[in-house]
Amino acid sequence: METVLITGANRGLGLCLVQKFADSGWQVFATERARSATPPVQASNVHWLTLDVRDAASVALAAQELEQRCSGLDVLLNNAAINPQSEYDALLGELDFAAIQLTFDVNALGPLRVIQSLLPLLLRGQRKLVLNISSEAGSLRHSWRDRSYGYCMSKAALNMQTTILDRALKPRGFNVLALHPGWMRTDMGGPNAHLDPMESAEGIYQVVESAGENTPRFLQHDGKEFPW
C-alpha cells in the first residue's frame, strides 16, 4: 500500500486530500496542528498525527511516531498554510510585521522543517515525491496584487524552495513539484471562490499519479503548467 503524509489535514483542501487518497486505497498519515477530539475522517487506512509546522519539536515528534508506524513514506504533501486577515488587506504604511513573519514561518519555513525531518522516511519510500501546495499568489510572472506581502512573498519563497530541493534531492531519486490548487471554497478562499476543494483534490491526486521526473515544475490542480 502506498503512503502519503498530508499537513494541515483537518479542514479545507487538506481534508479533501485525505478523503481522496484514502478512497483510492493509500495509507494516509493526516496531520493536524492540534489533535481533534474526533478525527475528521475515520477509516482504517487513515492515521492522525499532531504536527505544527512552526514547531521543530512537534515536527520531529511526528517523524518519530511515523518511524514506528511505517517503513517508508512515498509522497509528502505540504499543504498547511495561513493567510491572516490583518496582513492580507494591509497597505504600505500599516503593515503588520508580526503577521507577515508568522505567515512566512508557516508557509515558507514550515514545509522545509517537515521535509528535513521526514527525509529518512522519504528516502525509504518508493515514489520520492514532494508536492508543495503553493499559490498563484507566489508567481512572479502572474502576480497582480498590490498588498498581501506576507502571503505572496511566502509562496514565492516556497516556489524557490521547490526548485532548490528538487536539485538537491534529484541525485537521490526525488522529484519536487509546486502546485497552485485553484481558488477554492474553503475558510481561506471564502464562499465566492470558483472551485469545490474536492475537485481540486481530485486533480491533485491525478498530478501525483502521473508525476514524472521532469521537475521542478509549477503546475495547476488540473496538471497544466503555471508560470513561476
Ligand X SMILES: NC(=O)c1ccc[n+]([C@@H]2O[C@H](COP(=O)([O-])OP(=O)(O)OC[C@H]3O[C@@H](n4cnc5c(N)ncnc54)[C@H](OP(=O)(O)O)[C@@H]3O)[C@@H](O)[C@H]2O)c1
Q: Which positions touch ligand X (CB under 6 A)?
A: 7-8, 10-14, 33-34, 52-54, 79-82, 106, 133, 135, 181, 183-184, 186-189, 193
Considering the complex, what minimum distance in angstroms separates the CB of residue 201 from ligand X?
Answer: 10
Considering the complex, what minimum distance in angstroms separates the CB of residue 169 from ligand X?
Answer: 21
Give the helix/strand (H/E) hosting 88. Answer: helix 85-88
Q: Which residues contact 46 (CB under 8 A, 6 or more apart)?
A: 18, 22, 28, 30, 39
Count of H-run helices and E-run strands, the chain: 7, 7
Considering the complex, what minimum distance in angstroms separates the CB of residue 182 from ligand X?
Answer: 7
Considering the complex, what minimum distance in angstroms separates the CB of residue 57 from ligand X?
Answer: 13
Residue with the CB atom nearest ligand X in the bound state: 12
Tell me: cis bond preceding 120? Omega within 30 of 0 counts.
Answer: no
Considering the complex, what minimum distance in angstroms separates the CB of residue 4 from ligand X?
Answer: 15
Considering the complex, what minimum distance in angstroms separates the CB of residue 195 from ligand X?
Answer: 7
Give the helix/strand (H/E) hosting 200. Answer: helix 197-210
Closest CB to ligand X among 73 and 133? 133
Q: How far apart are CA 30 and CA 49, in angstroms?
A: 6
Considering the complex, what minimum distance in angstroms separates the CB of residue 173 from ligand X?
Answer: 25
Q: How far apart are CA 74 and CA 130, in angstroms?
A: 9
Closest of 138, 151, 132 to residue 204, by C-alpha: 132
Residue 28 near residue 18, CB atoms below 8 Å: yes
Residue 181 is placed in which grid cell? 490548487
E strands of 19-146, at which residues? 27-32, 46-50, 75-78, 129-133
